[in-house]
Amino acid sequence: MIARRYHDRTAHSPASVRASPHTLDWDVKPFPFKIYTELPALALPRDLDALAADTLAALARPAARAERLGLAELAAVLYHAAGVTRKKTYPGGGEVLFRAAPSTGALYQTEVYVVAGAVAGLEPGLYHFGPGDFALRRLRAGDLREALARAAADATLARRAATVVLTAIYWRNTWKYQARGFRHLFWDSGTLLANLLAAADALGQAPRLLAGFVDADVNRLLGVDPAREAALELVLLGPEGAAAPPAGALAEVAHPYMPLSSAEVDYPLLREVHAATSLADADAVRAWRAACASWPAGGGRAAPPSRGRDVAGSGAGGPPPRPVLSGTDPTVPLPPPRAESGRGLGATIQRRGSTREFSHEPLAADELATALRAATRGLAADVPAGCVDLYLVVNAVTGVAPGAYAYDAGAHALEAVRAGDFRRASAHLCLEQPLGGDAAAVLYFLAPLDALLAACGERGYRLANLAAGVAGGRAYLAAYALGFGASGLTFYDREVTDFFAPHAAGRDAIFVTALGRSARAARATIEANVTLPGRPAR
């Protein structure tokens, strides 16, 4: 399959990283904001006090359904998902604008659009969200919900108040990460979705994620060039009402916007896998959803194999079984996750910033338990659960012996893979970054990729990366709600799987999130998040 070949061709290894000639061309570093140059701005309200709901409560259960979606509520969702949360000015006038959700390399390739139909205080239309000036710009006038519903093969879109559409501008990410950036598109939109879904749930807007849609139709509706920018996910918001009227044929739109840089580099491998994972028409969307419905939730965790079972594949339609250690009982029960953090969701998101240096101070067992439960909770979506399994290296957690584990979400327990101090090994696995060894615990998201592709087709590759991104984003939120830190990391693909073998047989490494207490309150900076001049890009 094309997705399988793409995954293997973009895998990191010690040899591939050292052999890569790629360095960063700072003269063409992409501008981090998409600015439509000829469209007037509609300023959004800035009264965002509504997100006082406790962060852990917002992650665990939605608020009572709201009777309407107004412009103020929409503004709150957009700000806490993709807004600029703080600014830092450096001597000489340099300025860094930090966003609500983390992004690999602080490159922020995810763009946000809104198809509004029944939003109080906002005329129906298609809008682009500009985080830099916290404003909307209307790209199309009129109620377009029915057209989007046809593209998504889901009639409920025409009845919900609005739909948020996330896209990605490839060059913003491939400038640093080259063709591997296709993975990052879904990691980063996933972490943004973790914020967006939590904020919308806290406001009672009943968010529902759709990963299936006719790609060409949604891109055409947005007016984006799919060779450079493409739709990734849709999120329905607000109460259901009367269905929108038929939209009719849509004219082409191509509003001018400021160039991101003076030159761009094209990566055909990325465009190839994007095309291969796209859906051609509404029938293909419905068939894809039906195929994915057969995927077993929990990635094989719900019914762990008996002790001593072999590691052969489980056959078509499901992930391979996960063997457990022979001998003594390898299960490590975890304490119940905390129900509340004492910190509101808005305050948590405002405080969030990827940790760049961890101390060796331990986490409490219930802190780790809370982050794991948050990462693995289900969500309302058109896609199956259980697309990734969560493995971890525990370095410093009170009451949990150092070692490698798999998390059994159904039992809320750790399954021991091997015991020992693996700080050095984990740092090596995380592309030889000290963060992977200094963190109190490092979460490795692995997917039964071949089985997932067999069940869900090429688009299953998007699901694996998206599921890991959402899970990592939720772990981020839980960490900062409880007062410790988190950081997303890249990794040596095959070596991660080999490290957790044979338990992780049949699985591929997808994403990594490190958790721990910050050293000297170290936080993300542009210099820390992107490769400096003269250093090779990874």
pLDDT digits (tens, 9 = 90+) for 444-484: 999 999 999 999 999 999 999 999 999 999 999 999 999 99
DSSP symbols for 179-233: GGHHHHHHHHHHHHHHHHHHHHHHTT---EEE----HHHHHHHHT--TTTEEEEE
3-state helix, strand, coil in the chain (%, to 5): 35, 20, 45
Q: Which residues contact 247 (CB under 8 A, 6 or more apart)?
A: 142, 143, 144, 145, 146, 147
Average pLDDT over residues 23-34: 95
For the chain, helix (H) and strand (E) counts, in that order, are 18, 18
To 10 degrees, what angle do helices 181-202 and 170-177 make? 130
Contact 81, 101 (CB under 8 A): yes
> Phi/psi of residue 88, each to 5°?
-130, 130
**453 three-state secondary structure:** helix
The pLDDT value given to residue 353: 80
Average pLDDT over residues 242-258: 93
pLDDT digits (tens, 9 = 90+) for 48-96: 766 888 999 999 988 999 999 999 999 999 999 999 998 877 777 677 7
User: Which architecture characterizes domain 40-244+261-292 according to CATH?
Assistant: 3-Layer(aba) Sandwich (3.40)
Contact 381, 417 (CB under 8 A): no
The first and second tokens of residue 43, run together, are: 């300023």
Could you tell me which residue, 516 or 89, shows the higher pLDDT? 516
Interatomic CA distance for residues 21 and 468, integer angstroms = 29
- pLDDT band at residue 317 under the 50/70/90 scheme: low
Residue 420 pLDDT exceeds 60: yes
Q: What is the pTM of this model?
A: 0.91
Residue 524 pLDDT exceeds 80: no
Is the domain spanning 297-529 CATH 3.20.20.140? The answer is: no
Asked whether this chain's domains 40-244+261-292 and 297-529 adopt the same fold, the reply is yes
The first and second tokens of residue 407, run together, are: 């998390």
Please name the residue that has the structure tokens 């992977």. 436
- pLDDT band at residue 355 under the 50/70/90 scheme: confident
> What's the whole-number average pLDDT of the chain?
90
Domain ranges for the chain, please list them: 40-244+261-292, 297-529
Contact 134, 79 (CB under 8 A): yes
The first and second tokens of residue 208, run together, are: 């529902």
**Over the range 46-73, which residues count as b (16 or more CB within 10 Å of their CB) and which as e?**
eebebbebbbbbbbbebeeebeebbbbb
Could you tell me which residue, 247 or 24, shows the higher pLDDT? 24
Q: How many CB atoms are located within 10 Å of the residue 521 CB?
A: 10
The pLDDT value given to residue 313: 33
How distant, in Å, are the alpha carbons of 252, 306, 427 from that of 432? 48, 35, 5
Interatomic CA distance for residues 173 and 335, integer angstroms = 39
Residue 532 pLDDT exceeds 50: no
DSSP symbols for 76-127: HHHHHHHSEEEEEE-TTS-EEEEESS--GGG---EEEEEEESSEETS-SEEE
Residue 154 pLDDT exceeds 60: yes
Interatomic CA distance for residues 190 and 196, integer angstroms = 10
Residue 307 pLDDT exceeds 90: no
Interatomic CA distance for residues 55 and 197, integer angstroms = 12
3-class SS string, 228-277: CEEEEEEEEEEEECCCCCCCCCCCCCCCCECCCCCCCCCCHHHHHHHHHC
Contact 186, 466 (CB under 8 A): yes
How distant, in Å, are the alpha carbons of 73, 124, 158, 237 from that of 242? 20, 14, 8, 14
- pLDDT band at residue 220 under the 50/70/90 scheme: very high
> Phi/psi of residue 407, each to 5°?
-95, 125
> Phi/psi of residue 246, each to 5°?
-55, 140
- pLDDT band at residue 286 under the 50/70/90 scheme: very high
How distant, in Å, are the alpha carbons of 301, 341, 415 from that of 412? 11, 19, 10
Contact 501, 417 (CB under 8 A): no
The pLDDT value given to residue 321: 61
Strand 69-70 versus strand 119-120 pairing type: parallel
Strand 69-70 versus strand 42-43 pairing type: unpaired
The pLDDT value given to residue 502: 95
The pLDDT value given to residue 305: 31
> Phi/psi of residue 369, each to 5°?
-60, -40
Residue 269 pLDDT exceeds 70: yes
Interatomic CA distance for residues 91 and 345, integer angstroms = 32
Interatomic CA distance for residues 194 and 504, integer angstroms = 26
